[in-house]
């Protein structure tokens, strides 16, 4: 059939719209990279070292970061362990909260690879204060420790979701780690660049550090207070000095290698002080 005149113009318009619709749908469905779910792992296909346990590390971008000059402390902490006796695997994911690390399937993958006698270090809190249901990441958790919930429509997954408190999520990690045979170690979040000079008399508090400590104590789990150990290492320094030494010029949250190493050494220091955490026996001996 030959189409001409005004009808031909309408046909061209309809064809153009038909071609554009798939593109429009692709744009509408686009998901921020930080919200991409994990690919489920088959436990039978997971490679494990023979004869030694695995230390799994989970958390956010302050724990694992490969963006330019940024480094997470979980990326460098391996150097303080005897890796001939223990395998270190950093499974932290940038942009995740205690909620989205599990709802996107990252925690399920860790559990799939876990065996009795393994360890897991967890550090969340930096992203938990975000909105519950924004269109960018939808990663926030309810503040507190209890069983309060809020049902939302998640615009990222396009499904209804029941959101819990930060304490509830940390408690679930601890319990599920133990069910999988792992020994959990809870960490408070590392500090950002402070707002004022750090002095012993005015160290800023962090509510997520308080909550993490409470849940760990409640569950009788090992706890390393990274926030307070690092803040005490900053005593006598101004925000400008801390930023210049440990952070990049345009960032108050993510550390350079120097900052990541300081945080890693803070973890090792806190671990050594624990009286009954078997992970400490895998640390390298202190040499002068």
- 136-181 per-position pLDDT tens digit: 999 999 999 999 999 999 999 999 999 999 999 999 999 999 999 9
Q: Strand 183-187 vs strand 54-59: parallel, antiparallel, or unpaired?
A: unpaired
Average model confidence (pLDDT) across the chain:
88
Which residues contact residue 288 at a Cβ distance below 8 angstroms, ignoring those fewer than 6 apart? none
> CA 54: distance to chain centroid?
18
Q: Which two tokens stand for residue 119?
A: 């360890």
Q: Does a structural domain hold residue 237?
A: yes
Structural domains counted in the chain: 1
Contact in structure between 87 and 49 (CB atoms under 8 Å) = yes
pLDDT higher than threshold 50 for residue 6: no
CATH number at residue 254: 3.40.50.1110
Residue 226 pLDDT > 80, yes or no?
Answer: yes
How confident is residue 45, by pLDDT bands cut at 50, 70 and 90? low
Q: Give tens-digit pLDDT for 196-223.
A: 999 999 999 999 999 999 999 999 999 9
Q: Is residue 265 part of a domain?
A: yes
Size (the chain), residues: 288
Mind listing the pLDDT tens digit for each residue in 64-87? Answer: 998 778 999 999 999 999 999 999
In a domain, 22, yes or no: no
pLDDT band at 15 (very low <50, low <70, confident <90, very high): very low
Residue 93 lies in a domain: yes
Would you say residue 110 has pLDDT above 60?
Answer: yes
- Rounded to an integer, what distance in angstroms lies between the CA atom of residue 135 and that of residue 34? 12
Average pLDDT over residues 259-279: 97
**How far is Cα 18 from Cα 24, in angstroms, rounded to an integer?**
10
In-domain check, residue 118? yes
Tell which residue, 176, 73, 191, 203, has the closest CA to residue 118: 176
Question: Does the residue 110 lie in any domain?
Answer: yes
187-to-63, 111, 123, 169, 224 alpha-carbon distances in Å:
11, 19, 5, 14, 5
Q: Residues 109-125: what's their mean pLDDT?
A: 97
The number of beta carbons lying within 10 Å of the beta carbon of residue 271 is 21
Supply the range of the domain harboring residue 101: 56-128+167-275
What pLDDT is recorded for position 249?
84
State how far Cα 112 lies from the chain centre: 18
* DSSP 8-class letter at 87: E
Q: Per DSSP, what are the bridge partners of residue 119?
A: 55, 183
Has residue 24 got a pLDDT over 90? Answer: no
User: Six-digit token pair at 260?
Assistant: 């990541």
Query: Can you give the pLDDT at residue 36?
Result: 72
Is 5 part of any domain?
no
Q: How far apart are the first and last CA of the chain?
A: 89
Residue 190 lies in a domain: yes
């Amino acid at each position: 059939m030959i189409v001409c005149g005004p009808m031909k113009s309408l046909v061209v318009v309809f064809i153009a719209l038909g071609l554009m619709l798939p593109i429009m749908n692709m744009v509408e469905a686009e998901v921020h990279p930080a919200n991409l779910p994990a690919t489920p792992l088959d436990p039978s296909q997971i490679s494990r070292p023979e004869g030694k346990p695995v230390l799994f590390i989970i958390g956010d971008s302050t724990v694992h970061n490969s963006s330019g000059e940024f480094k997470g402390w979980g990326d460098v902490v391996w150097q303080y362990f005897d890796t001939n006796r223990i395998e270190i695997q950093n499974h932290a994911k940038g942009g995740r909260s205690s909620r989205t690390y599990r709802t996107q399937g990252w925690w399920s993958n860790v559990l799939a690879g876990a065996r009795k006698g393994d360890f897991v270090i967890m550090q969340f809190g930096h992203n938990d204060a975000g909105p519950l249901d924004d269109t960018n990441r939808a990663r926030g958790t309810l503040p507190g420790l209890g069983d309060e919930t809020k049902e939302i429509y998640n615009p990222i997954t396009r499904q209804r979701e029941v959101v819990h408190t930060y304490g509830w999520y940390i408690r679930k990690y601890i319990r599920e780690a133990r069910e999988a045979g792992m020994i959990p170690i809870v960490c408070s979040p590392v500090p950002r660049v402070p707002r004022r000079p750090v002095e012993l008399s005015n160290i800023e508090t962090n509510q997520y550090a308080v909550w993490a400590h409470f849940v760990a104590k409640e569950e009788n789990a090992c706890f390393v207070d990274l926030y307070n150990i690092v803040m005490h290492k900053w005593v006598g320094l101004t925000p400008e000095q801390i930023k210049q030494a440990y952070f990049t010029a345009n960032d108050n949250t993510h550390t350079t290698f120097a900052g990541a190493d300081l945080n890693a050494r803070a973890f090792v220091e806190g671990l050594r002080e624990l009286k009954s955490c078997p992970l400490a026996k895998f640390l390298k001996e202190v040499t002068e």
